[in-house]
Structure 1
């Protein structure tokens, strides 16, 4: 009898701790999200520190184009900085620099050339993870990027599922770029619950 009671207590403890150890329920209704926040607050859950390293592949031409221009101002075509031009992207994320390596998701969003004087852009991107540890989760990035810097730093401002409340920094480094394609090394370091 004592053995049954111990097993029941152990099962109860495991069920109480499991949602705090990384699991986000499949139910993402407002009520379920509110319960998740209450549970995090009630247990004074500490944020986790995570790092991600992957590659973003942009294709500018051909039948597998992943970056397209969707708008421009009346001066964009003659501007040396493409001021006013807007592009959207839906680009592959992989585990290595090789575009044929394992795919882990997509980078989707838009960027706008925002300076009349230097080549830079402002961007909002969502990284959608389709495999690996964070499968089904997303992380959002917002920021400004000068083209002439080796490393470009962006704030990470949120996430979903296993990356809820993500906050941190994303660093981009362009490894290869020509008229047809671009490979960007992406490194994230962030806190999340």
Structure 2
């Protein structure tokens, strides 16, 4: 009499083996590098008028004035970022992107921008930020959705709060706080 030494597998046992092996391999792959957390603060200088304008309207509703609060107005922006609130503080980089007045009541905007670093420590790296910004809130929170260079695989959040506003000059300083996890 011959013994059958080959184990008999059912569909359930094959499925269990497959799931366990996938879990093991994905755990090995994702555990290869730890994420580190970086917290930073910088100041964004926003010029909506004058010779140093950094926000330009490029589209909007035909026949309507294109403003920050006019639904459908689309702006391109390229703002300087500095270490301190003075425009003459050491440069950190640029905040480059777009925003759209996305609420019918004009109270919020969809914002998408890159923090492009030019300082020594992070030169050439970027952090990608996006979200819905309620314009008159004292602190607005946005998502960090990715990054490059030293911020690869970045995820986290950013807060924006007005530091100072000079309405007649069309100039505002915004404190930008960023908390990210990255490789």
2-structure distance, mates of 1:156, 1:126: 10
Deviation at 1:42, TM superposition (A): 7.8
RMSD: 2.0
Stretches of structure 2 lacking an aligned partner (at least 5 in a row): 1-27
**Structure 1 residue 43, shift from structure 2 partner:** 6.5
Q: Is the 8 A contact 1:75 1:84 kept in 2?
A: no
Cα offset for 1:120?
Answer: 1.1
* Greater helix content: 1
Matched, 1:184 2:180: no
Select the structure of larger CA radius of gyration: 2
* Structure 1 segments of 4+ aligned residues over 2 angstroms from their partners: 40-43, 74-81
Task: Give the corresponding residue for 2:32.
Answer: 44
Match of 1:59 in 2: 47
SS of corresponding position for 1:132: coil
2-structure distance, mates of 1:75, 1:148? 26
Q: Does the 8 A contact of 1:176 with 1:184 survive in 2?
A: yes
Cα distance between partner residues in 1 of 2:52 and 2:94? 14
The reply on whether 1:161 has 2:149 as its aligned counterpart is yes
Calculate the TM-score normalised by the size of structure 2: 0.78
Alignment of structure 1 residues 109-128 onto 2, 5 Å: 109-128=97-116
Alpha-carbon contact 1:139-1:160 (below 8 Å) kept:
yes
Question: How has the CA–CA distance of structure 1 residues 167 and 57 changed in structure 2, closer, same or farther, with 3 Å as cutoff?
Answer: same
Match for residue 147 of structure 1? 135
Provide, for residues 56-92 of structure 1, a one-character-per-residue CA deviation record: whole Å limited to 9, x for no partner.
Answer: 0011122211111111112642999300001111110
Give the structure 2 partner of residue 102 of structure 1: 90
62, 72, 88: which one aligns with 2:60: 72
Evaluate the alpha carbon distance shift between residue 138 and residue 79 of structure 1 in structure 2; reply closer, same or farther with a 3 A threshold. Answer: closer
CA contact (8 A) 1:123 1:143 kept: yes
Mapped partners of 1:167, 1:79: distance in 2: 31
Q: How far 1:148 moved relative to its partner?
A: 1.7
